Structure 1
Amino acid sequence: MKTSVSLLSSALLLALNSSVFAASSVDLTVKGLITPSACTPSLPGNVDFGKIAAKDLNQDSYTPLEKKSLQLSVNCDAATLFAIHPLDNRAGSAAYGASFGLGLINENQKLGVYQLTFSNPAAETPSTLIAMYNSEGQWTDLLADEGIAPNDLVALGSRGDNGWAPHPIKDASMDMTLHTSIAPAKNLTLTSEVVIDGSATFEVKYL
């Protein structure tokens, strides 16, 4: 009986040790794809609202500013699958997640927000603006009044048997409109000039 228990204990110990050894390493797979074609995004300039009098701001609600539009262009060496990936360089200063921030006053007062909408796509291939929200993996058609949040994806594509998907484009352009609002003035320190300090980066993401 003692011999059987000893042999069983040895077998269990060996099994446990084998499990420990198996769990003490992990593999890393490094993947990617080098594309021979490159794409360059461009904007014609920046958005400037000029000087806004503090007395003209709403005290208890957001003050909408004039809509501003720019044309965003992407030019590639050859037809390429890509999407536009907007990043908020003032992350943390927006009052709500689906918008871009305008910076902070006194490091803790959120000055305001802006949202982006896209319209009027143009390319050498008939295209529809499509979007992927929150990297959820599904493309959908993008309407002119639907906002794009930081880290969403915007592309030009078409609808096939499996739904909407980007298609290769060499040269593309689209109108990008900013819908900007200043936070309620009662929550802001406006005793001196305050800089509207929004900043975003638009990356070309190869698909």
Structure 2
Amino acid sequence: MKNPVSLLSSALLLAMTSSVFAASSVDLSVKGLITPSACTPSLPGDVDFGKIAAKDLNIDTSTPLERKTLPLSVNCDAATLFAIQPIDNRAGSAIYGYSFGLGMINENQKLGMYQLGFSNPVAETPSTLLAMYNADGHWVTLLPDDGIAPNELVALGSRGDSGWAPHPIKDAIMDVTLYTVIAPAKGLTLTDEVAIDGSATFEVKYL
């Protein structure tokens, strides 16, 4: 009777030992998708507010500047699922959260901020502008007065059985409007000329 008990004990010990060894390693999966289609975004130029006199700025409140609108085009080799992600190249210089910065004065004074609005989409397929906030995977309709913050996603899509979602587009054009304000003048050093130094990158994200 000793041999069966010994064999059973040995089997249990081996199983426990195997579990210990299995817990000492983990696999890494590297995945992705190489798409044959490429999309190129383009803008007609820069946004220039020209010279603004310091005396025309509000002392205690922010000064709104003229709204500026320019067309953003996206052209793809073929119909492609994509979104536009604006990236703030002056991160940390905006006076309000969820906005794009205009640069700094003396490295410690935030000059102002701007937000982006998207409207009037035109594509070969009738499309609605959509936005994804907080990278939560949920798409919602984007109205012209809805501001888009850095790193949020904008896409062209339609409503299906499971809700709003982007659809493939080959060529699209849409208006991008800048809502820009300068910080209260009382907190800015304006004894010399100060450059409005906003910069953003519109990156195509393949979905």
Provide TM-score, normalisation by structure 1. Answer: 0.90
Shift of 1:200: 0.2
Equivalent residue of 2:143, what SS?
Answer: coil
For residues 106 and 70 of structure 1, the distance between their equivalents in structure 2, rounded to whole angstroms, comes to 31
Counterpart of 2:86 in structure 1 is: 86
| RMSD of equivalent CA atoms | 1.8
The aligned amino acid for 1:125 is T
Structure 1 position 38 matched with structure 2 position 74: no
Instruction: Call closer, same or farther: CA 1:17–1:180 in 2, change over 3 Å.
Output: same
Counterpart of 1:186 in structure 2 is: 186
Counterpart of 1:55 in structure 2 is: 55
Give the gaps of 5 or more residues in structure 2.
1-11
| Residue-by-residue CA offset, 1:88-135 (whole Å, 9 max, x unaligned) | 000000122211000011111100000000000000000000000121
Q: Could you tell me the percent identity over the aligned residues?
A: 80
For residues 105 and 24 of structure 1, the distance between their equivalents in structure 2, rounded to whole angstroms, comes to 53
Equivalent residue of 2:55, what SS?
Answer: helix
| Residue-by-residue CA offset, 1:50-104 (whole Å, 9 max, x unaligned) | 1111111011110000000010000000000000011000000012221100001
Counterpart of 1:3 in structure 2 is: none
Shift of 1:26: 2.5
Instruction: After the TM superposition, list the runs of 4 or more consecutive aligned residues in structure 1 that deviate by more than 3 angstroms.
Output: 14-19, 21-24
For residues 111 and 120 of structure 2, the distance between their equivalents in structure 1, rounded to whole angstroms, comes to 30
For residues 192 and 22 of structure 1, the distance between their equivalents in structure 2, rounded to whole angstroms, comes to 67
Give the gaps of 5 or more residues in structure 1.
1-10
For residues 80 and 130 of structure 1, the distance between their equivalents in structure 2, rounded to whole angstroms, comes to 16
Counterpart of 1:4 in structure 2 is: none
For residues 177 and 23 of structure 2, the distance between their equivalents in structure 1, rounded to whole angstroms, comes to 52
Equivalent residue of 1:154, what SS?
Answer: strand
Alignment length (residue pairs): 196
Q: 5 Å matches for 1:1-207?
A: 19=20, 21-207=21-207
The aligned amino acid for 1:65 is L
The aligned amino acid for 2:78 is A
For residues 97 and 137 of structure 2, the distance between their equivalents in structure 1, rounded to whole angstroms, comes to 19
Shift of 1:16: 8.8
